[in-house]
Structure 1
Amino acid sequence: MQSHVTKWGNSLGIRIPRTLAEKIGLREGTPVDFEIKDNAIIIRRKRYSLEMLLSQVTPQNVHHEISTGHPVGREIW
């Protein structure tokens, strides 16, 4: 399969054929990492683990409890 590099604003872009994207579950908005190895560009889907996400939680970025108002209908537990 072949594609071409095109100019997108101040950057360059490459269209990824649908068949390749579907094989690895790549969709619009999927975060990716780039790596250069042996004169090749490697694109990897960015993976998150619960441990990695939780390691970024600090007392400074934990949100406080918020009030959404009084219960309405059958919201009482």
Structure 2
Amino acid sequence: MMTSENDLYKGGIKVYSAMLQRWGNSSGIRIPSTIKNVLHVDNGTEFEMKIIDGSIVLTPKKEVSLEEMCAKINTKNQHEEIAFGSRGKELL
């Protein structure tokens, strides 16, 4: 019986087997498209990698929006303006 993406998302368990393979000077494991679809990730998605009790745990890194970054600005983390002087043709 095939496990659908919805079953995986609802907590159903599907065990996948993967082989560690050489990839340039590193090694890599391919992630099946079913898992990519469930996690809403694609090629180029950055992951955080942890080793927990002898297992590798991969977690997709959340993209931080400009609004989220700006919301964290406060008087304690603002830096003073740095004067670099004029360069090029700023003063005509």
Aligned-residue Cα RMSD (Å) equals 2.7
Bigger strand fraction: 1
Mapped partners of 1:52, 1:36: distance in 2: 32
Q: Corresponding residue for 1:36?
A: 51
**Paired positions, count:** 60
**Among the aligned pairs, what percent are the same residue?**
27
Larger Rg, first or second structure (1 or 2)? 2
Tell me if 1:18 matches 2:23.
no
- Note the C-alpha offset of 1:35: 0.4
Mapped partners of 2:22, 2:59: distance in 1: 22
Structure 2: gaps (5+ residues): 1-15, 83-92
**DSSP-derived class of the 2:57 partner:** strand
Structure 1: gaps (5+ residues): 61-77
TM-score, normalized by length of structure 1? Answer: 0.63
Q: Corresponding residue for 1:64?
A: none
